[in-house]
Amino acid sequence: MFQPEMSQNIANMSGQVIRDILKLTQQPDVISFAGGMPPTDALPHEALREISGLAFEKYGREVLQYGTSEGFLPLREFIVKWMAKKGVKAELEEVIVTSGSQQGIDLMAKAFLNQDDRVIMEKPTYLTAIQIFQLYGASFLFGDSDENGIVPSSLQQISKHSTNKLLYLVPNFQNPTGVTLSQDRRKELPGMMAELKLVLVEDDPYGDLVYDDNHNGPIKAHDQDQRVVYLGSFSKIISPGLRVGFAVAPEAIIEKLVIGKQSSDVHTCNLAQAMIYEFCAGGLLEPHLESLKNQYRKKRDLMLEVMDRHFPRSVSWNKPGGGLFIWVQLPAGKTAQGLLKEAVKEKVAFITGECFYVGGGGSNTLRLNFSNASSAQIEEGISRLGKVMHTYLA
């Protein structure tokens, strides 16, 4: 059989974790806490169905034509106003619409990274960001983190090497840990970027899913030296399937992201952009967000309550102030991979924590998603998982 000779970067990558997650979520008899998605019944199906017709009536055949790489103009104008409410002042030329915020990570890697350039990250951090940066040949350095996010002083201890290019952070309800960066550190970090010769990539897909009174504004709001690139997304708050995200960055960086996008997909789907714009401009975003937050808050609280009832005392976890995930730690010496093998036998699944680490670590950690399961599934699934834990940890 023909064996194609792949590039070294792609040959060294594996999509096994993602494939395994999708296989688990597609099995109807498995209660899965593995993914990070909204439940189907939370998607605004009826509103978007009507809006799709409105988009054709309003924009005609043009919505089916090629568009500009920067994005659908009315949506970019909305994003400028929306970001202003978050404390970020941006010009239209500083906004590009992307095919999900994940494309924003890819475009930043494409624009900045040469082979063996360094990306500074938290440990653990978002799995797909790791994979994207690896695909572009990056190596990694790691800042120290605690319950308030990355520790700025730890960045000073990292060599100011000429190949250090990006600092990548998920500051709000981080994937996978659910940790939120403190306000003091949000103010401190932008001022350090010039000294450290870094650009900070602020990946914020969960920032609008706030359940407690502990939310802070974007790091980008404190960016005096134009060294922060903000990545936003409509996936978690409207529809992941429409694949619409955006980046807010200095115009000089946007110009390079546009060039990178032109060689990737030319532009994000015009119809999807028009639908997102009409949904937001029509006053539907805020009430939809409130509905989501109420629904997810109840699910988070229920999962935490059921965990407290059923999990062994030797297991610990956090209470995230928002987002989609709860981070769980098993006792030292016990692996989440071993627990998963037993849990799957009982038709319950989660994602092990070690895949969010580069170069090893986190073998006794796991991530639970509470947004996608129903309340009944949370009750039953966490009960099953607790029973498996008691046996496995005995």
Could you write out the DSSP letters of every residue in 218-253? -GGGG-SSS-EEEEEESTTTT-STT--EEEE--HHH
User: pLDDT of 100-124, one tens digit each?
Assistant: 999 999 999 999 999 999 999 999 9
* Average pLDDT, integer, range 160-171: 91
**pLDDT level of residue 25 (50, 70, 90 thresholds):** low
Task: Give dist(CA 18, CA 295) in Å, integer.
Answer: 26
What's this model's pTM, rounded to 2 decimal places? 0.96
Task: Give dist(CA 55, CA 58) in Å, integer.
Answer: 5
As given in the structure block, the two tokens for residue 133 are: 């940066």
Q: Which is it for strands 351-352 and 348-349: parallel, antiparallel or unpaired? A: unpaired
Percentage of the chain modeled with pLDDT above 90: 89
* Average pLDDT, integer, range 127-152: 96
pLDDT for 12: 63
pLDDT for 199: 98
pLDDT for 286: 97
Q: Is the pLDDT of residue 187 over 90?
A: yes
For domain 45-281, the CATH architecture is: 3-Layer(aba) Sandwich (3.40)
User: Look-up: residue for tokens 């498996």?
Assistant: 388
Q: Which residues of 12-41 are buried (b: 16+ CB within 10 A; e: fewer)?
A: eeeeebeebbeebbeeeebbbbbbbbbeee
Task: Give dist(CA 229, CA 232) in Å, integer.
Answer: 10
Closest CA to 55 of 273, 243, 235, 245: 273
How far, in Å, are 126, 238, 269, 278, 280 from residue 286 at the CA level?
Answer: 27, 11, 24, 13, 8
pLDDT for 64: 96
**pLDDT level of residue 17 (50, 70, 90 thresholds):** low
Task: Give dist(CA 299, CA 15) in Å, integer.
Answer: 29
Q: How many CB atoms lie within 10 A of CB 74?
A: 16
User: pLDDT of 332-389, one tens digit each?
Assistant: 999 999 999 999 999 999 999 999 999 899 999 999 999 999 999 999 999 999 999 9
**pLDDT level of residue 295 (50, 70, 90 thresholds):** very high
pLDDT for 2: 73
Q: Domain spans of the chain?
A: 8-43+286-392, 45-281
- CATH level 3 topology of 8-43+286-392: Aspartate Aminotransferase, domain 1 (3.90.1150)
User: pLDDT of 211-250, one tens digit each?
Assistant: 998 778 999 999 999 999 999 999 999 999 999 999 999 9
Q: Which is it for strands 199-203 and 164-169: parallel, antiparallel or unpaired? A: parallel
Half-sphere exposure of 269 (CA within 13 A, CB side): 13
Residue type, 30: V
Task: Give dist(CA 320, CA 326) in Å, integer.
Answer: 7
pLDDT for 161: 75
